[in-house]
Amino acid sequence: MMLVYNTFSSEELSLKIVDVPPDWLITTDRQCFQQADMVVFYLPGLLQEMDNDLEKSENQIWVGWFLKSDLKYQWINNPEIIDIFDVLKDYSLDEIQNGFHLARLCRKKDEKSLYENTTMNTLCLYTFNYPYGSGEQFLETEIKYLSESFDQIFIIPLQITGKKRYVPENVEVMKIHFGTPPKSKEFGNTGKWFIYCLNDIIRSKNKKNMLHLLSKLSYYAGVLYDYLDRNRITNAVHYTYWFDHHATLLSILKSKNKIQYFISRAHGYDLYNERREESYIPFRKLQLQYATKLYLVSKNGLNYITEKYPEYKAKYKLSYLGINNDIASTEGRQTPQYLVVSCSRIVDIKRVDKIVESLALIKDIPVKWVHFGDGPLFEEIKKLAGQLLSGNIEAVFYGHVDNKDIYNFYLTEKIDCFINLSSTEGLPVSIMEAISFGIPVVATNVGGSCEIVTNKVGILLQADFEIEDVKNAILEMLLTKSRNSLFRNGVYEFWKENFNAERNYPDFIDNILSDCKLFKSLESNEV
Query: Edge-to-edge strand order for the sheet containing 316-318?
Result: 171-173, 152-157, 122-127, 237-240, 261-266, 293-296, 316-318
pLDDT (0 to 100) of residue 3: 86
For residues 310 and 328, what is the distance between their CA atoms, to the nearest angstrom? Answer: 41
pLDDT (0 to 100) of residue 18: 46
pLDDT of 325 strictly over 50? yes
Residue 52 burial (C-beta neighbours within 10 Å; 0-12, 13-18, 19+): exposed
pLDDT tens digit string along 39-87?
A: 888 877 777 777 677 788 877 888 888 776 665 666 666 666 666 777 7
pLDDT (0 to 100) of residue 374: 94
Residues with Cβ < 8 Å from 186, sequence gap 6 or more? 215, 218, 219
Spatial contact of 136 and 148, defined as CB atoms under 8 Å apart: no
pLDDT tens digit string along 386-440?
A: 999 988 999 999 999 988 899 999 999 999 999 999 999 989 999 999 999 999 9
Provide DSSP, 247-310.
Answer: HHHHHHHHHTTS-SEEEEEE-STTT-GGGSTTSS-TTHHHHHHH-SEEEESSHHHHHHHHHH-G
pLDDT (0 to 100) of residue 106: 47
**Looking at residues 255-283, what average pLDDT do you find?**
90
Residue 399 parent element (H or E) = strand 393-399
Report the share of the chain in percent with pLDDT over 90.
54
Residue 131: asked if its preceding bond is cis (omega within 30°), the reply is yes
Give the pLDDT band (50/70/90) at residue 243: very high
pLDDT (0 to 100) of residue 30: 85
Give the pLDDT band (50/70/90) at residue 328: low
Spatial contact of 155 and 190, defined as CB atoms under 8 Å apart: no
**Local structure of residue 128 (DSSP, 8 states):** S
Give the 3-state secondary structure of residue 397.
strand
pLDDT of 479 strictly over 90? yes
Give the 3-state secondary structure of residue 61.
strand
**Looking at residues 466-484, what average pLDDT do you find?**
96
Higher-confidence residue of 346 and 274: namely 346
Average model confidence (pLDDT) across the chain: 85
For residues 417 and 527, what is the distance between their CA atoms, to the nearest angstrom? Answer: 58
Spatial contact of 297 and 319, defined as CB atoms under 8 Å apart: yes
pLDDT of 93 strictly over 80? no
pLDDT tens digit string along 181-230?
A: 776 555 556 778 988 998 888 888 888 888 888 988 999 999 999 999 88
In 3D space, the residue among 229, 197, 225, 199 whose CA is nearest the CA of residue 213 turns out to be 197
pLDDT of 334 strictly over 80? yes
pTM (2 decimals)?
0.73
Going by DSSP bridges, is the β-strand pair 367-372/61-67 parallel, antiparallel, or unpaired?
A: unpaired
